[in-house]
Amino acid sequence: MKNIADLSEIDASNVKCVFFDIDDTITTSGKILPEAYQALWKLKENGIKSIPITGRPAGWCDHIVRMWPVDAIVGENGAFYFRIDENSNFIKRYFFDEKIFKENRLKLNKVSDEILAKVSGTALASDQNYREADLAIDFCEDVDHIGWDKVDDICDIFKEHGAICKVSSIHVNGWFGDYNKLSMTKFLVNELFYEDLNNTESNYIFCGDSPNDEPMFEFFSKSCGVKNVIEFKDKMDHLPSYIADHEGSLGFAQIVNTLLKKRS
């Protein structure tokens, strides 16, 4: 496991882009506070690109990439990325073709039926209707927290069906396919920046808060966590390299302000 350093020690000299999770990373109690949204505009005004890397659904991602001051978005834990190019064309890039997505959806429907029948207190995530590639089971967003033992039960059912699953701060997300947040981020960087992320990761920062961000925390030497990531420290093998003093929105704003201050 990495040693966690003070955020003030981060080397921001060559950073060209900030990747970030959404829920409980730039949000606090489900809302984006002014400080966090202002931080996104500060990045844009200073010529640093920003790209959400989220488990949220395709429907949300369509809105976000059109309306937020961001340069692209990776959604549903790496199933796709969306962006708007210099000619205002909406670009969608998927891990699988439509046929495989439809086949996987039928398999996920069976997984969903089993989880809802066997794990009491769970529900489909309220954003499930807007998803294209994965299944999101709500364990504490719009339902009372079901407890970590039941979260483990959900993960076990996904795994029994041969699905990949990741735990966020609010959902258990499951899907079929060998992809995650990191694999799609590498694909995006290659297409958008013409770089091999394996060789240039020091040019990028990732900010996150929960176990589904672990591939990013492990890969990026400049990975940053908002303070609430500590809640998951016993459930994670890979913590971020730096942790903010504040949770959620205020933690994200602190990370961005530190980055900009050190670049000035």
CATH class of segment(s) 98-175: alpha beta
Mean pLDDT throughout 112-132?
97
165 pLDDT above the threshold of 90: yes
Mean pLDDT throughout 117-130?
97
| The CATH number of the domain covering residues in 10-95+179-263 | 3.40.50.1000
* Strands ordered across the beta sheet of 80-84: 73-75, 80-84, 90-94
Q: How confident is the model at residue 144 (pLDDT cuts 50, 70, 90)?
A: very high
Per-residue tokens: 101: 């997505």
Long-range pairs for 117-122: beta carbons < 8 A, 24 or more residues apart: 118/153, 118/157, 119/146, 119/150, 119/153, 119/154, 119/157, 120/146, 120/150, 121/146, 121/150, 122/146, 122/150, 122/154
List, for residues 35-65, the tens digit of each pLDDT value: 999 999 999 999 999 999 999 999 999 999 9
Task: Specify the pLDDT at position 1.
Answer: 54
Angle (CA) 161 93 222, round 5°: 85
For the chain, domain boundaries? 10-95+179-263, 98-175
Spatial separation of the C-alpha atoms in residues 162 and 63, rounded to whole Å: 31
Q: Is 10-95+179-263's fold the same as 98-175's?
A: no
